[in-house]
Amino acid sequence: MPDTLTVDQLQDTLTSASNQTSFNQALKGTGRFGYMSLDTDEDEHSIEMHLPYVYKVFENHLDRVKIVPILVGALTESTERQYGQLLAPYLEDPENLFIVSSDFCHWGQRFSYTYYEDKDGVATQSLAQAASSGGGRKVSPDSPKIFESIRKLDHDGMEKIEAGSHSAFCKYLSRTRNTICGRHPIGVLMAALEHIKTPVKHTTRFVQYAQSSHVVAISDSSVSYASAFVRRETS
């Protein structure tokens, strides 16, 4: 069950903004949302990554901005659809802006995830385990470097998101088990877009992608990051 907050103000090192408590209460009234504790909120860093940008974009209008934090945990595909349907009317309202916080692939033995695809597209769920059982063998010289395989893995998921099919994105996650932290809120957003019953078309586009480091050895690790926007087409 996703959670929201009861506090009146959200504050970081830059400034503060109002929490839309009346809306939070309305969400709670649906029976599908709970309230997170202050300790949980303080431990959860994702909103902290976005608030500085929100403050900058709306710096001249902060008195008019109300924020509704929603913490989304591990949901099933069908539950993502249910929450997408519940939130779709709010997403359709042009007065509202939805911001989803996520990174992409966490690759490395410390993340227990070493997925790899060779030049023929043959996937290995655990490259570390395969290398161990093969006497420590490494990726062959004629195969993609590990960071190139990670990039392909991430871009496959990004293409699913841009295509707008919630079920296709879920199938991609089931097949690859990609360690995208925000996969469930992304799924809720995709489901909400599918539920909007208007002739208005929405376009999703990724505009930036990066990796914290280029993995070339099984002992290396990296985290991927991507940013995208959803635009309502008016014509």
Q: How far apart are CA 230 and CA 233, in angstroms?
A: 10
Amino acid, single-letter form, for residue 227? S
Provide the pLDDT for residue 1.
54
Least confident of 93-107, 133-147, 153-167: 133-147
Radius of gyration of the chain (CA): 20
pLDDT of residue 178 exceeding 80, the answer is yes
pLDDT of residue 146 exceeding 70, the answer is yes
Provide the pLDDT for residue 68.
84
Q: How far apart are CA 34 and CA 118, in angstroms?
A: 44
- Over residues 171-195, the mean pLDDT reads 96
Provide the CATH number for the domain formed by 106-180+202-233 in this structure.
3.40.830.10
Q: What count of other Cβ atoms lies within 10 Å of the Cβ of residue 1? A: 12
Q: What count of other Cβ atoms lies within 10 Å of the Cβ of residue 178? A: 20
The residue behind tokens 């043959």 is 122
Domain boundaries, the chain: 3-71, 106-180+202-233
pTM for this predicted structure: 0.85
